[in-house]
Every structure is written in structure tokens, then in C-alpha cells.
Structure 1
Amino acid sequence: MLAIVLLLVVLVVFRPQREPLMQEASLDTRPHPEASSSQASNEPVVIAVVGAVEHPGLLSLDPGSRVADALEQAKPQPDADLAGVNLAEKLVDGQQITLPRIGEVLSRPEDPAPPGDAGGKISLNRASISELTALAGVGEKTAAAIIEYREANGGFQSVEQLQEVKGIGPAKYAAIAEHVVL
């Protein structure tokens, strides 16, 4: 509990002063553009925050916001396990953040497969670091490189572009190519 309070104090004290990044998002029934196009423009990133937070639901944040920004608005509960999430992870439009409680093991259903997908594949343009590390041979550094490439290039246009990511050679590409989609 003390660790959580200290972490929140550090986040608030050392965060640069600026206007709040988030506000409640209204339910929008229009189709959302791909994450890469919303981040390429100045459109807000809409995410869902659930789990051990006082204010679960949809949030609208500035492009480039991070998980810590979302949790600042959603207010973690005292029994939230902040070590269970990557506070530095950049947010992607349509992402859901689940904040577990201390000692809770999260088991969530697979994200729905995109139309035409065989299912169970990981989206290169939407996956978080933790989702990417589920791929065989992909550690945190490679997952971070995939996300960095995605953000720098406006998303992946083809699975073959994985070969341009630092740390992915022919063998690693062959091992993961059939397990990913755009």
C-alpha cells in the first residue's frame, strides 16, 4: 500500500506541469480509424480502463500519452497492483488497460479477431509489449523495437515489414510471421 502511494506521489511530483490530458469520452458509434492514423494526426486516443480503478471506462487522451497518464485520471484503488502494468507504455487508440489487484492473476479472453483472420493472431498495429512478448522468441527489447518502428513509420503496412525492425532476422521473422496480422 505504501509503495502504491509513493509511486503515485512520484508520478505527480516529477510530472511536467501541463493541462490535464484526459477527459471522459462520449460513446461514438462511428468507426474509429486505425491507431496509426489517429496517432499520425492530432486526434485523441480513446482507450478503456478497467479493473482496480475508481473511475473505470473510456478516456480520451492526447496522442503519445502513456499508461501512467490514463491511470492518473482513472485513480487506482488502494489494492491496485501497479507492478502488474507497464506505466511507460504508449497508448494506442482502442487499447484496454486492465489494472489488476495485488495478488490477482489476470486471465482475459483473446481480443476479437479482425474480419477475415483465422483468429488468435496478434495485431502488429495494436499489440502492447506484453502481447508481443507472447510471440516465440520475442522479448521485451524486441517488442519495444516493434512498437518503436510502428510509431515511427505510422504503423505496419505489411507483415513483411517486421524484417526491417532491429533485432528481427530471418529466423525470428520465420518463427513469428504466421502468428501476426496487421
Structure 2
Amino acid sequence: MLEKWIHVLRDYKWFIVAGVGLSGILALVFVLGQTGQTEEATSLTDFATSSEQVVEKTASSQSETSLVVDVKGAVKKPGIYHLPAGSRIHDAVEAAGGLTEAADSKSVNLAQKLSDEGVVYVATKEEAVSIIPSASPAQASGDKGATTGLVNLNTATEAELQTISGIGAKRAADIVAYRESNGRFQSVDDLKNVPGIGGKSLENIRPYVTVD
């Protein structure tokens, strides 16, 4: 019996060797194919991750170098404008076509820097709202307590509050609501207690308001 198998192996050894070799080649091709697919999937994942990072960096860079403001009131073309970071109210007004004939240039501080998501409101002469104090007898005599031209937080209406750059309709309503719920503002610093007004917003608003 053993001799029979020996003869069989001797007669068909090349077929057996060829079969084993073919099986080995097929196994190697399969392994390489799986490795290639894994590497391709990894490459695609890395590419997608890199693309997302590029998009995020681009968006972040754009937000740092530009700002969006809402220009309202007595300007020729009211609307939303995209301006370079560091722009001032003068730039926003010019982007909106400039002041109309009815505009009161004293109602805005054209030299003030803009903040992202801010509002620029230009009042008309009829509104008689001025943020630039006019010289009063008290000021002429050196009285530092005079506050002519400032918006009084304790008496101002929502419309009057909106004449201040950086205060929109919602923020004005929040200020009035806070005043009605908590009583008079004891100091300008109390604005920090109004929802949505932080330290930076407070400093932007401070030059134009009073509690007297």
C-alpha cells in the first residue's frame, strides 16, 4: 500500500507542487489586496480629516480678519455689510452709501471702532439725538458732572437706546426689561447684569450712557 502511494506521489509530484505554488500565489494576492484596500481607506480618511481642518482654519481666519455689521437709519443704503477687522463707523457709513440729507452726523461717533455683529444707527435731525455733548454753562465753568448728550439708562426708551452703536432691538428690550424688574440702574457698570452684555460690550457702550 505504501509503495502504491509512493508511486502516485512520484508520478504526480509536479502537479502537487504546482497546486501548492498556485495556492500560495493566490493567498499572497489576497493579502496584498486587503492591505491595499486598508491603506486606501486610511488615505481617504486622512484626506477628509485634512480637508476639514483646512476649512475650519479658513473660516477661523476669515472671522478674524472681517466683521459683519448692520447699518440702519439715515443712510442711503441700509443693510448688512462685511468689513475688514479694525474698521470704524465711518467705514460702515461709507459702505452704506453715506449719510442722507436728513441725517444728524452728531448722532454717531464716526471714529469709533466697529465690533462684529454690531449695529450702526444714524438718527435724523428731527430725532434730536446727539452723542456729542454740546458745551453747556456748567461744562464751560469746569463742572465735570455735566452729561449733556448722553443716553440715560433709567429714562431712555428702546428707540433711544438703539441709537447707541452696538445696541440693537433685542438688547434695548433687555435693558428696559431689566430696569423694570430690578429698578433704576445705580451705575453704568450695572449693565453687566443685563443678559448678553459682557465686559467688551459694556466698554463700547459706556461713553454714550449715563444713569443721572
* TM-score of Structure 1 vs Structure 2, range by shorter chain: 0.3 to 0.5
Q: Using CA pairs below 8 Å that are at least 6 residues apart, which structure has the higher relative contact order? A: 1
**TM-score, reference length from structure 1:** 0.38
User: Which structure is higher in helix share?
Assistant: 2
TM-score (normalizing by structure 2): 0.33
Which protein shows a greater Rg?
Answer: 2
